[in-house]
A and B are shown apart, each in its own frame.
Chain A
Amino acid sequence: MGSSATWGLVTATFTSSFVEFVEALTIVLAMGLTRSWRSALWGAVLAVVALAAFTAAAGYALVNWLPETALQLGIGALLLVFGLQWLRKAILRSAGLKSMHDEEEEFREQAAAARVAGAESRFGLDWFSFVVSFKGVFLEGTEVVFIVITFGLNAHDVPLAAGAAGAAGAAVLVTGAVAHRPLARVPENALKYVVGLLLSSFGTFWAVEGLGVFRDGGRLSWPGDNWSLLGVLAAWFLLSRVMIHVMPRLAAPSAAQPAPPSVLERVS
């Protein structure tokens, strides 16, 4: 694999995973700071263990029992749905039709819910913070697993993709431990826009190739093979820019808010 492809794989996986880890960290921090660090951390640790077991079992089953094209179709479709959800939010935010995601606000909402929740104790743990941390880390972690599988298999280097995701997790963990608060300074809206584009593009590419499972089991090929991935990415990007300008005109007048700076402008 060429060095540019290597850097592309590392950057795409690191960025996508980073955003997922930031969300997981916010949940664990909210539970730890408002209720019980011990329970929140146990929830996070057990979620990582459960995630490892799920990944090993699902990975073995998928690789050994499913044709490669069926795997592409399934994972590509999932990734496409994730990516389009993020892209939809990014377009609505940039068009001024939805408020910007704010990790501080997310933290406040989680913390408020934690304060009013009942004080049920099981196995010596505060059950609410344990369950919320477990669920948050497992959910975000599962998305990271799918990201690593897709980006890694597409570049024929799953270990490198896993390493990039691990580095993103470590970076978020270290920053969170040092800051001891939600990572509000991360340009999360811009990152989510980029990640939405990446996931939508890889998801489209993979899901469509996987449709070959309905024909003869071979891949349905794109013109130019892997190079068409760039075309798919460009198509989603251009579409998103057009939609950011057109969608406010479709909305009822009361729905449109003063347009915030575009996410791309916020990056620069």
Chain B
Amino acid sequence: MRFLEAFGRFWWDFVVGDDWKIAAGVATVLIGAGVVVSSVGGGGAFVAPLVGVALIAAFVAVVAVDVRRR
């Protein structure tokens, strides 16, 4: 049990790191984009940059929340 707990904590530390909000922001944007791409089948050249902009927006929001709480 202790091994499983340590194993889980290791991978949590590895994937999520110091600020869980960043992993959550990235996951939210990618899952949302995945849903849109699979349902609409978006293949236009503007789709990739749009997802990139969404990732940037998520990062700014996460850091801004972090800074305001300091």
Binding site for B on A (CB under 8 A): 73, 77-78, 80-82, 84-85, 87-89, 91-92, 97, 135, 138-139, 142-143, 204, 207-209, 211-212, 214-216, 220-223, 228, 232, 235-236, 239, 243, 247, 250-252, 255
User: What are 16 pairs between A and B in contact, CB < 8 Å?
Assistant: A84-B26, A85-B17, A97-B70, A138-B10, A204-B55, A208-B55, A214-B34, A220-B43, A220-B48, A220-B51, A236-B56, A239-B56, A243-B60, A250-B67, A255-B67, A255-B70
CA distance A138 to B43 in the complex (A): 39
Q: A232–B52 contact, CB under 8 A?
A: yes
Contact with A along B1-28 (1 / 0, CB 8 A): 0000000001001111111001100110
Q: What is B's interface to A at a CB cutoff of 8 Å?
A: 10, 13-19, 22-23, 26-27, 30, 33-35, 37-38, 41-43, 45, 47-49, 51-52, 55-56, 59-60, 62-64, 66-68, 70
Residue from A85, A142, A211, A216 with most neighbouring chain B CB atoms (10 Å) = A211
Which chain B positions have C-beta within 8 A of A138? Answer: 10
Q: Is the CB of A77 within 8 A of B26?
A: yes
Assess whether B67 is in contact with A92, with CB atoms less than 8 Å apart: yes
Chain A residues touching B, majority SS:
helix
The answer to whether B22 and A84 have CB atoms under 8 Å apart is yes
The listed residue (A139, A220, A247) touching B13 by CB distance below 8 A is: A139
Q: Are A235 and B52 in contact (CB under 8 A)?
A: yes
Q: Which residues of B contact A84 (CB under 8 A)?
A: 22, 26, 59
Which of B13, B55, B56 counts the most chain A CB atoms within 10 A?
B55
Q: Is A211 a contact of B70 with CB atoms below 8 Å?
A: no
10 nearest CB pairs, A to B:
A255-B70, A214-B38, A85-B17, A222-B48, A214-B34, A223-B45, A214-B37, A208-B51, A250-B67, A208-B48
